[in-house]
Structure 1
Amino acid sequence: MSINDFYTILILAPHTDDGEFGCGGSISKWVNEGKEVYYVAFSSAEKSVPKEMPKDILKKEVQEATKILGIKKSNLILFNYPVREFPEHRQEILEDMIRLGNELRPQLVLLPSSTDTHQDHQTISQEGFRAFKKISMIGYEMPYNNLNFSTNLFIALEERYLHQKIEALKCYKSQADRIYATEDFVRSLARVRGTQIGIEYAEVFEVIRWVIK
């Protein structure tokens, strides 16, 4: 079974923008191919918003960003778990994931890698595995958080998909001061990953579980 055989794909983002950073190009590609992509963000990180900006700005920014990637408005799901406190809410998060699994019936789940060191990302990765352990899962790359990373799976990106990823990330004006939020960084990382497999651009993933039926 190849990744092309999956139709319903679920993106688990600890915070708004994590999905775009980790797999925005692949999301754009899959939506263009007609796949049903759901995006779930577990926090809008209100405590991390710059003081001069509205507290709910990340909710608005993720709506704009996912629209650029082609995700249906009805396929964007937002929770309000407090940023940096996910470990204290493990059971609630797990129950939300199990409910989503029953409702959406995804065939492929994307989540933070198993070596992501951010406490919220670790929680989503670990509880995501528990909730979706019977189906295929891949972990997306966030090099500024990863202790190490297994480059098991590469997804080739055309320029148009990388461009949409970059345009989606530009929606996050509240995060523009982060060094990894620049177009240069995003494009350079995609070029490095593409070079590893002899093409121009790619995103890379850790294979956490691959189920062949």
Structure 2
Amino acid sequence: MADGPSCTVGTPFRPRGRQVDRDEARTRWSGWRSREIEISEDLPERPVPVEIRGGWTSNFQIFPLRRTSSEIVTGGELGWTRGVRPTRAVVPAGFNSLRVVRRCPGRSVGGVARWRLSVLSGEELPHLSGTVSGSGAAVFRYEGGPAGVAFDFHSELAANALVFNRARGGEAIHLSRHSQFKGVGRLPGAGFLSVPDCRRWVVKVL
């Protein structure tokens, strides 16, 4: 299925069966075509955690965009939905929009399931401390001071790197290379750690 036309502002997603206040309405969107969503009128000085859900028959990618009166800059891929499992990612500081792209890997059609995207608060993310493990992409909030962080993707080369976004803003920090599945990085302080989509991973704060 071909990508549809983009929009500068997404349509708010209002779950059925309950009233949605104005603040929530500005942080939830849905659709089934590819489209652009404006998450902030200005360029945010801090990173923004988000969550996107697809469907059993559809896959979607999300990319950050910096849209101003003089330029449009697209950042690297933030995430890819896998069925109905929610995918979390962090929009780096300085990007005020998201591009949701419908993908059809290995098929001539991309299904009819919709995507649903929400802006999250930091408190909705799991806290990073000690050793954590899991599978698939994940985002953690880190509230400590400077520390080392060890990672092990169990010999799998992930499509994306281990990325850290400082809570106070600034450019995203890549703690691993695309060709690296085991190593040690450095957390500069409070922020969000994005773990790439792997079948199995372990992350440990040192």
Range class of TM-score, shorter chain: under 0.3
What TM-score comes out, normalization by structure 1 length?
0.26
Structure with the larger helix share: 1
Structure with the larger strand share: 2
What TM-score comes out, normalization by structure 2 length?
0.27
Q: Which has the higher contact order (CA 8 A, sep 6+)?
A: 1
